Amino acid sequence: MGSAGRVVLVTGVSRDLGRKFARAAAADPDVARVIGVDAVPPRGDIGDVSFVRADIRNPVIAKVIVKEDVDTVVHMSVISTPGSAGGRNTMKELNVIGTMQLLAACQKAPGLQTLVVKSTTTVYGASSRDPAMFTEDMEPRRAPRSGYAKDVAEIEGYVRGFARRRPDVRVTLLRAANVIGPSVTSPLTSYFRLPVIPTVLGHDARLQFLHETDLLAALRHATHTDIAGTFNVAGDGLLMLSQALRRLQRPTISLPSFAVGNVGSVLRSARLADFSPEQTAFLTYGRGVDTTRMRAQLGFEPTYTTASAFADFAAPLTTSGGRTDRVLARLAERLPDPDAAVHVPQATVGRSDHG
C-alpha cells in the first residue's frame, strides 16, 4: 500500500449511505484520497471527497480509476427501489449494466488491489421452503425471476467472474441484512413508518437487521483487512415481525396475502411505501442468515444486535393517532372482496402497548 496512503473510489455517493461511507473514508488516516462517483451530485456535505459526476454505465469511469491511481474500489450503488431510479428498467440498467461497466474498468486497472461490493441478503429470496439460516454457500430456494433479487444475483455472478479473472485483486462481497437506523430510507423502513401497518394473515416473518453504523464499519473493516470472500453481515439474533410491530406501538391490519398485494399497489401509487412482490414475500416469510463466517473469518463484530438496531430506528418514531381510522377505512374500500372489507381489518386492528 505504500506510505502515501490509499486511493479509494466509492460509487453511489449521491445516496445517504454512500455519502456517509465516502466521508468516513476521507477522514481515515490510512487514506490519501477518496473519489466519490455518481450520476447526480450528492445533496449533503461530502467533506474531503472529490466528486466525479459520472454514470458508472459510462466507460469514462475506467479513465478515472487509472488516472487517479485508484487501488481500492467500494461499490455501493446497487439500488433496491425502482422509484428512486426512475422505474424498474432504469434500475436494472443502473444495477446490472453499471456493475458490468465498473468491473470492466477495474479489469483494465493494473494498480487495483481491493474491490469491496455491498450486496444484500435479499439474494437468498424469501419462501416457505427456506432453511432456518442461510449460509453463504446456499442458493435461494426459488431463483428470483425479476426485481432487485434478480439484479443482485446477476451482479454477484459478475463479481465472481471478475475475481477469477483478476486473482491479484482481493474481492470482498458483503451481503448485508436489511439496513436500519433513524436516517435510513428503504422499502422496509418506509413500511415501518406507515400510520397503519398491513401484515400477512397467518404469518409472522423472521427479521434480521444491520444498523447503518455497523454497515459503514463493516465496509471500512473490509477495506482494511486482507480477507477475501463472501460474507453475510447482520446483527445478532432475530426479531419476529409481530415483536417489531409491538415495539412500534402502531396499529396493524392483517390481510390475506392477495389483499396485501392490492394494498401494496395503493401504497406504492401514494408514494408511501414501495411494495414489490419480493417485499410482500419477505413480510410473509422473512429470512435468517448465519453470520459465523463474518465473525470467524472476516473478524467483524457488529455493535448493534438485530433488536437494538430496531430499537434505535424505532425510538424517534411517534405512535400514529387519529389518521388511523381514516386510513383503515380507505384500505377497506379498496379491498377486492366486499366480505373481506368488513371483517378482515376490523377484527384484527389492535393496538398493543406492551413491548
- Cα end-to-end distance, the chain, whole Å: 50
How far apart CA 151 and CA 270 sit, in angstroms, is: 25
> Which pLDDT band, with edges at 50, 70 and 90, does 323 fall under?
low
- Residue predicted with more confidence, 354 or 54: 54
How far apart CA 258 and CA 331 sit, in angstroms, is: 14
Contact 310, 244 (CB under 8 A): yes
The alpha-helical segments, DSSP class H, found in 166-322 are 187-192, 212-224, 241-248, 257-269, 277-285, 292-293, 306-314
Collapsing DSSP states into helix, strand and coil, what is residue 255? strand
Q: Where are the domains of the chain?
A: 6-182+210-238+289-300
* pLDDT reading at 352 higher than 60: no
pLDDT tens per residue across span 284-307? 999 999 999 999 999 999 999 999
pLDDT at position 3: 47
How far apart CA 96 and CA 88 sit, in angstroms, is: 12
pLDDT at position 297: 97
Q: Is beta strand 239-240 parallel, antiparallel or unpaired with respect to 206-207?
A: antiparallel
* pLDDT reading at 331 higher than 80: no
b/e map of 84-103 (b: 16 or more CB within 10 Å)?
ebeeeeebbbbbbebbbbbb
pLDDT at position 342: 28
How far apart CA 296 and CA 102 sit, in angstroms, is: 30
pLDDT at position 320: 59
* pLDDT reading at 350 higher than 50: no
The alpha carbon of 255 is separated from its chain's Cα centroid by a whole number of angstroms, namely: 26
Mean pLDDT, range 319-341, rounded to an integer: 56
pLDDT tens per residue across span 207-220? 999 999 999 999 99
Single-letter code of the amino acid located at 42: P
pLDDT at position 20: 94
* pLDDT reading at 177 higher than 80: yes
Mean pLDDT, range 75-92, rounded to an integer: 68
How far apart CA 272 and CA 129 sit, in angstroms, is: 30
pLDDT tens per residue across span 195-243? 888 898 999 999 999 999 999 999 999 999 999 999 999 999 999 999 9
pLDDT at position 327: 62
pLDDT at position 280: 84
pLDDT at position 142: 80
Q: Any idea which of 25-29, 115-119, 255-259 has the lowest mean pLDDT?
A: 255-259
Domain 6-182+210-238+289-300: state its class.
Answer: alpha beta
